[in-house]
Amino acid sequence: MSYPVDPSGYCAFSADWPEDDWISAVRVVNQRAEVLLDVSWGSYAPTGYRDATAHIIEAAPGDVLTISVTVEAGSSSWDQFLSWGHAIDLPELTKVADLYGGAGCPWTHTFDWTVPAGSGAYLISLWEHYGDYGEGCGVTEYGERVDLTLFLPETVPPAVGVGNAHAPTGIAAYPAAVTVPRVVQRIYAVILSADGLEDFEVPASLITLRLRDTDASYVSAVIPDPTRWTDEIMARKDGTMHIWSGVIDEAGARTLMAEMIYCNVQNFYFNLGAGNVLTIAGTRYRTNSAPTVRRLDHVSHVERDEAGRYTVTAALDPGLLPGDTAMIEGAGILADLVRVTIRHNHAEMTVEGE
Mean pLDDT of the 128-157 span: 49
What stretches of 89-215 adopt beta strand conformation (E)? 94-99, 107-114, 120-130, 142-152, 160-162, 183-193, 200-202, 206-212
Strand partners, 27: 36, 68
Topology of the domain covering 160-285:
Pnp Oxidase; Chain A (2.30.110)
Mean pLDDT of the 168-193 span: 57
Q: For residue 258, what pLDDT is reported?
A: 77
pLDDT of 333 over the 70 cut: yes
Q: Which residue has the higher pLDDT, 189 or 124?
A: 189
Could you report the per-residue pLDDT of 186-201, keeping only the tens digit for each? Answer: 788 999 999 999 999 9
For the chain, how are helix, strand and coil distributed in percent, rounded to 5? 5, 50, 45
Kindly state the DSSP code that residue 172 receives in the 8-state scheme: P
Q: How many CB atoms lie within 10 A of CB 24?
A: 18
pLDDT of 322 over the 60 cut: yes
pLDDT of 350 over the 90 cut: yes
CATH code linked to domain 7-152? 2.60.40.10
Q: For residue 5, what pLDDT is reported?
A: 34
Could you report the per-residue pLDDT of 143-171, keeping only the tens digit for each? Answer: 555 656 555 554 443 334 454 433 333 33
Rg of the chain on CA atoms, in Å? 22
Q: For residue 167, what pLDDT is reported?
A: 34
The mean predicted confidence, pLDDT, of the chain is: 67
Q: For residue 169, what pLDDT is reported?
A: 35
In this prediction, residue 222 has a pLDDT band, given cuts at 50, 70 and 90, of very high
Could you report the per-residue pLDDT of 3-23, keeping only the tens digit for each? Answer: 333 333 333 333 333 333 456
Cα gap 166→170, rounded to integer Å? 12
Strand partners, 91: none
Domain range summary for the chain, segments of one domain joined by +: 7-152, 160-285, 293-353
Vertex 282, ends 270 and 312: CA angle to 5°? 105
Q: For residue 1, what pLDDT is reported?
A: 26
Q: For residue 162, what pLDDT is reported?
A: 52
Q: For residue 252, what pLDDT is reported?
A: 76
Look up residue 67 and give its amino acid. I
